[in-house]
A and B are shown apart, each in its own frame.
Chain A
Amino acid sequence: MANTQAMCASFKGQLFNGFHQFGSPTIVSRTSLTTPTADTFFIALYLVSASHGVGDTIYAVTGETSGTGYTAGGKTTGAWAAPSDNGTSGFTTPSASVAWTGLTLATATDGALIYNSTQGNKAVSVHNFGSTTITAGTLTLTMPTNAAGTALLQVT
């Protein structure tokens, strides 16, 4: 038997909860050091012509979609499932769908940026749902199953 080099799965899940702090960044207070409140996350929509992705560091209006029923900055994701791990991966997903009603997006939109509005709008992830236009209708973004292999955010 030998030891196997690995990043512990429990650590991956704990990253989503901020259990570990290797540096000393300036963060916005979460009220309590021992029982901190959850941050608030938003989801903003972007035009097909925009080029958001892995290089994003912060929410930006560049390339953000616009139209009746859409407010710059997007909407809150609501609460997230309690971050967990399955022994291999850590993961979490918003608990509910996000929907815009009474919406008109005349210009094709395909991107969604999730960002942390509590912590200076720091970027979390970018998602693509295919070129979409909306006319006096509804755009619904339904979340995947919160499990290893499918969760919206995973560390493997």
Chain B
Amino acid sequence: MNEPDFSHALIWTSKGNMLESELDFSTTWENTPDYIKLTETWVERATGEVVKQSAHALSKMGVTGHGDVASFG
């Protein structure tokens, strides 16, 4: 059984379907106290143009309201 030929794999971009072999893929991580975010970027090698970019953010914690009570008088 032959291995799939990924050199001809297509990926959907702002310019339509492009050969993945024509793109440079990179990832960046942003880690803050509130969230952690992965950004995936595909750049067209010939032009340097970003043709696809996705982001996935995980909220580490939400927002908190503080309830309080007071004494009488």
Contact = CB atoms under 8 A, between A and B. Distances in A.
A152 B62 contact: yes
A5 B69 contact: yes
Given A150-B62, A154-B62, 10 more contacts: A104-B14, A129-B35, A135-B53, A136-B51, A137-B54, A138-B54, A140-B56, A144-B61, A153-B63, A155-B65
Given A5-B71, A154-B65, A155-B66, A129 B53 contact: no
A42 to B, nearest CB: 16
Contacts of A6: 69
Interface residues of A, number: 36
Interface string A112-156: 000000000000011111101111111111111000011111111
A12 interface: yes
A127 B51 contact: no
Contacts of B67: 7, 11-12, 155-156
Interface residues of B, number: 31
A129 B57 contact: yes
A65 interface: no
A134 B67 CA distance: 38
Interface in B1-47: 12-14, 30, 32, 34-35, 37, 39-40
Contacts, number: 101
A84 interface: no
B57 A132 contact: yes
Interface of B: 12-14, 30, 32, 34-35, 37, 39-40, 50-69, 71
A126 B34 CA distance: 12
A77 interface: no
Contact of B62 (A5, A138, A139, A151): A151
Contacts of A130: 30, 32, 35, 37, 57
B5 to A, nearest CB: 24
Nearest to B39: A132
Contacts of B51: 135-136
